[in-house]
Structure 1
Amino acid sequence: MFKFTMTDELTMAKADEDAQRVYAKKLAADRESQKRERAEELPEQRESRLAAKRESEKRRRAEESKEQQGNGLEADRERKNRKRAEESKEQQGNRLEADRERKNRKRAEELPEQRGSRLAAKRESEKRRRVEELQEQQEIRLAADRESKKRKRAEESQEQQEIRLAADRESNKRKRAEESEQPESYRLAFRYNPVDDYSLSRCVQIGTMSKICPYCKALKFNGETMGMCCASGKVKLPLLAAPPEPLKTFLTGTTSESKRFLSKIRKYNSCFQMTSFGAQIENPDQFLSTFKVKGQIYHRAGSLLPFSGENHKFLQLYFISDRNSELNARCEISSNVERTIVSQLQHLFHENNNLVRLFKTAINLMPTDTHKIVISADKTPPGQHVRRYNAPTIDEVAIVMVGNQFLPRDIILHKRNAQLLRIAETHRCYDALQYPIIFWDGADGYHFNIKLMNPATNKEMNKKCSAMHYYSYRLMIRKDEENYILKCRELFHQFVVDMYAKIESERLLYIRLNQTKLRSEQYIHLRDAVINDGNTTNVGRLTILPSSYAGSPRHMHKYAQDAIAYVRLYGRPDLFITFTCNQSWDKILQLLLQGQSAVHRHDITAVSSGKS
């Protein structure tokens, strides 16, 4: 029986340390010897050594099980990640440069068949990866690709840019040449096969509205663009407040009273609108429930009070002292409206609409008829942030005398006056004055001071939000949120047409004010006209619409040239096919709100027929 003492343990520990030191020295010596041998070896010796190593590695990997292979790959990744985390920026740059050099040498030496098989394998791998990725991953990848392409193009020299553009032109030429070599059956416009079930085609099956925007949670179809709802996170607006009772119940369409209200919702809105709606309205026929207008849309407002002996109109109705007389006047505006519904809405707007309360307070502060009420187009309440989009408060209303200077877009209302004021489309109260049922609290609408947001930092950018982006955000369907605008049926149709006219007006204004940026002086047709006429004094100030403006002459000319190009490449078309949306499609009925039919939601039927 042996008995170990403390001295024996110390002796054994010292022996282990000596053995480890000897082993470490041996490893260091082996590494140094290996370095010297590799430095002295000839290129042929190096190639044979690396080839033998590759063969040995292949045999080892062929013999290992799947579990061992997975463990080995995981260990390699861990080792590589640790090594890369510890390297300095200079080492990282050297490594990346060496990788690029090695890759370039390998690609320069490969045969055309090897290059083709490598690219084909890469494409297949990319296809599989993209099929498996989630919608959010796809959007992140596309955004990263765009940023990478922007940086790369910003850093390239003029020579590199010319080389890239020349390569793109050559690639397009090859692609078009390959298309022209397709067989005649491929070039036919349409070849119908009665055996095929075309309802199962990918072109028809657009799927459900399951695509969710990662920024604003808007629901979209798979084929819809990423930024159509919120410009990829750059537009952030607060929700419109839910309407109080009884308006909330009226918009549901579940009760008999609410159904009668929704069937005449435009008439009820006209009973309470504060501005007149000016446009040439086309009466829809009995088969098409569509709101159509011709020409320009404009809203006008009169004075707060009528002259003696005249009837109250629009905004003036809110200043009738007797509520019963006010109710009688409102019921006389539109026929077939129910007095009980009008009475309930009248009470709601007097109690909850900030614009009505603002005007009532302001009129009491006007000492004479020569004073005016001025509502600034872009003013922000004192101490408040512009992105809160508050409804106007009495602090924002100025009571001024005649002769004061105003901005062109300000709303200037007289106490008594025979003139009508046109409300600017970009005034923040434009929507609430015309659509009190939608904006029951008088909330602000679109105006120029709404800024885009940086989605990464959640801070305001210098760029302003356009009317198109604003109303695209407002009209989207979002998960777990109620959009009360979509419940307004015929009034929703009028609102969409009105706001689209506003968007087009803003586009035209931008084109008119930015002719130099659009380089309109370079347009060949205008230059030829000036040269041929010879008299430039008769030209006047022209506004040239670019081809990007839908419906402009240059836009139509561009489409005509595209059509000619298609005919030249594919031959004359065999059939001209139009496609009509079926309102009974399941994908339409699934998106309708309670009590709605397809005629109430042109936003869905337009998308469905466009996608199909």
Structure 2
Amino acid sequence: LQTCTSEPNRRAIAQQERRERKRVGNTVNQKAVSQQERRRRERIENTIDRRSIAQQSRRELERVKRAHTIPDNEIFAQFQLQNIRHDLGHMDTACIHCGALHWLDERIVNSSKTNPKFGSCCRHGKVILPLLHDPPLLLRQLFESQDKQCKEFRANICQYNAAHAFTSLGVNIDQTILNGRSPYSFRIHSELRHHSGSLLPESSLNANYAQLYIYDPDIAHQIRMGRNKNLHTQTMWELQEILREHHAFYPIYQQAHEILSQVCEEGVSETDLAVHLHFNAATDRRRYNLPTSNEIAVILPGDGSEPKAMHDIVIRLRGGPLEHIHKAHPAYLPLHYVLFFSHRELGWHAELHHTLIDEYGQYIED
């Protein structure tokens, strides 16, 4: 009887164990299925998010394309580099031929970092610029002496130069960063430009730049000091006299004014008068050549509407738009940086000859 009773018990226990194992297996399977389902849903959501982001990027790209007529490669560069800082390092690598300073990455392709070569300054030594003449003695003292007046001049040399420049500086200033509380930043769009205006202002109170060289020296000095009260009066007067005596373009502007005034006396309206300063030593010598500057400029009278050479400077007697001076013009630097070009020197221009080396190691002109 005991044997018969224990047999059903064992069967019941075995069935119970099978049901328990089955229940545990079902639970494990359900968890695995749930994990797989979650992973599948996450993949679907990530795919949807990536597609949505890609669609938004494409729409933004199309919007930029419609708003700006710039090449596709520049558009992609804007998206890829908009938050990346591009640092060229210091501009302290000198050309072995002329000493001009460059960024190292400006070197030509086939030169190394240890022996960099540059082609944008002197064409590998093919162009040799003559050194500037020593400045007049009084100006040289201002550059070199250690007394109080000379130190003050060097500390404010940019302001002194601007006060005596023939041309103004034209820039498109970016005003977006000037309204904050951060340190002052001077940021511009596009390039720096040098402008030349008419010889006579609308009012004597508004005379500036080249116009002041037409005025009586005492009046011109008073106007300059009125706008630069922090500068030394004696230094301002000395610089004015140095430039009137030595600068190449003072007699040119003086004679341009005399020619225009003479034509104006013949009944021509002031606003219809202009001259072209044509810088070419081979130009016909019979046309108002300056007796002391005929290697620099030929003055051609007119009304400003005549065809002009690409680099001619048009000077009007009164009124008219500002004249943009091309950066390749030989007067581009001397008219603005007057303290460095105090003698009859010209700046860089496209007619400079290459300098070649012959078989004996001597320089010859191309």
Task: Compute the TM-score of the two structures, normalised by the length of structure 1.
Answer: 0.35
Question: How far 1:407 moved relative to its partner?
Answer: 1.9
Q: 1:243 to 1:292 in 2, by over 3 A?
A: farther
Tell me if 1:419 matches 2:321. yes
Query: What amino acid is the match of 2:300?
Result: I
Cα 1:298–1:455 shift into 2, 3 Å? same
Alignment CA distance shift 1:212-1:337 (3 Å): closer
Moved more, 446-455 or 256-265: 446-455
SS in 2 for 1:330: helix
Distance 1:392 1:223, change over 3 A: farther
Structure 1 residue 452: Cα displacement: 1.9
Provide closer, same or farther for how the CA distance between residues 300 and 442 of structure 1 changes in structure 2, counting only shifts above 3 A: farther
Partner deviation per Cα, 1:524-576 (whole Å, 9 max, x = no partner): xxxxxxxxxxxxxxxxxxxxxxxxxxxxxxxxxxxxxxxxxxxxxxxxxxxxx
Amino acid at match of 2:197: G
Contact residue 381 and residue 396 of structure 1 kept, 8 A: no
Q: Does 1:248 align with 2:140?
A: yes
Distance in 2 (alpha carbons) for counterparts of 1:309 and 1:330 = 12
Counterpart Cα distance in 1 of 2:256 and 2:277? 11
Given that residues 375 and 411 in structure 1 are in contact (C-alpha distance below 8 angstroms), is that contact kept between their aligned partners in structure 2?
Answer: yes
Counterpart residue identity of residue 393, structure 1: N
Residues 338-377 of structure 1 show CA distances to partners (whole Å, capped at 9, x for unaligned) of 111000000000000110111112321222233322112x
User: Following the alignment from structure 2 to structure 1, what is the Cα–Cα distance between the partners of residues 198 and 326?
Assistant: 16
Aligned to 1:326: 220
Q: After superposition, where does 1:370-389 map in structure 2 within 5 Å?
A: 370-376=272-278, 378-380=279-281
Aligned residue among 298, 301, 309 for 1:397: 298
Distance 2:170 2:200 in 1: 21
Cα shift at 1:212: 10
Counting only pairs closer than 5 Å after superposition, residues 504-519 of structure 1 correspond to structure 2 as none
The reply on whether 1:440 has 2:332 as its aligned counterpart is: no
Contact 1:358 1:394 survives alignment (8 Å)? no
| SS in structure 1 of the partner of residue 242 of structure 2 | helix
**2:209 is the alignment partner of 1:314:** yes
Q: Distance in 2 between matches of 1:302 and 1:319?
A: 13
Aligned residue among 177, 184, 195 for 1:300: 195
Kept after mapping to 1: 8 A contact 2:243/2:250:
yes
1:409 counterpart residue number: 311
Q: Return the match for 1:266 from 158, 162, 185.
A: 158
Describe how 1:45-444 pairs up with structure 2 within 5 A. Answer: 223-226=114-117, 230-252=122-144, 254-279=146-171, 280=173, 293-307=188-202, 311-321=206-216, 323-366=217-260, 367-368=263-264, 369=270, 370-376=272-278, 378-380=279-281, 393=294, 396-402=297-303, 403-444=305-346
CA shift, 1:272, in A, is: 0.5
The SS at the match of 2:206 is: coil
Native 8 Å contact 2:214 2:257 kept in 1: no
- Note if contact 1:372-1:413 (Cα within 8 Å) is conserved in structure 2: yes
**Does the C-alpha gap of structure 1 residues 299 and 411 become closer, same or farther in structure 2, counting only changes over 3 Å?**
same
Distance in 1 separating the partners of 2:241 and 2:117: 43
Q: Any idea what the Cα deviations from partners look like across 1:273-320, whole Å, max 9, x if unmatched?
A: 11111122888x9x9999764432111111111235552111101111
Partner residue, 1:59: none
Shift of 1:450: 1.6
Give the Å deviation of 1:253.
Answer: 5.5
Separation (CA, whole Å) in 2 of partners of 1:400 and 1:249: 40
Tell me if the contact between 2:281 and 2:295 (Cα under 8 Å) persists in the aligned partners. Answer: no
Gapped regions of structure 1 (runs ≥ 5): 1-208, 385-390, 462-612
CA RMSD of aligned residues (A): 3.7
Amino acid at match of 2:334: A
Distance 1:288 1:238, change over 3 A: farther
Structure 2: tracts of 5 or more residues without a match: 1-92, 105-112, 265-269, 286-291
Change (3 A) 1:371 1:395: farther
Cα offset for 1:442? Answer: 4.8
SS in 1 for 2:354: strand
Give the 3 Å change call, closer, same or farther, for CA 455–225 of structure 1 in structure 2: farther
Instruction: Indicate if the aligned counterparts of 1:380 and 1:396 stay in contact, CA closer than 8 A.
Output: yes
8 Å contact from structure 2 (residues 281, 294) kept in 1: no
How far did 1:410 drift? 1.1
Deviation at 1:394, TM superposition (A): 7.7
Structure-2-length-normalised TM-score:
0.57
Give me the whole-angstrom Cα distance separating, in 2, the residues matched to 1:359 and 1:320. 11
Query: Kindly tell me: are residues 421 and 218 of structure 1, through their superposed partners in 2, closer, same or farther at Cα, counting changes over 3 Å?
Result: closer
Q: Distance in 2 between matches of 1:383 and 1:216?
A: 35
Identity of aligned residues (%): 23
2:222 alignment partner, SS class: helix
C-alpha distance in structure 1 between counterparts of 2:223 and 2:208, whole Å = 9
- Once the two structures are TM-superposed, the CA of residue 261 in structure 1 deviates from its matched residue by 0.8
The Cα of 1:219 is off from its aligned counterpart by 11
Q: Quick one: distance in 2 between partners of 1:341 and 1:381?
A: 39
Code of the aligned partner of 1:361:
Q
Query: What is the CA distance between 1:460 and its match in structure 2?
Result: 3.9
Equivalent position of 1:542 in the other structure: none
Change (3 A) 1:309 1:258: closer
Query: Residue 451 of structure 1: SS of its match in structure 2?
Result: coil
Distance (whole Å) between structure 2 residues aligned to residue 381 and residue 255 of structure 1: 46
Aligned length, in residue pairs: 242
Q: Shift of the alpha carbon at 1:264? A: 0.9
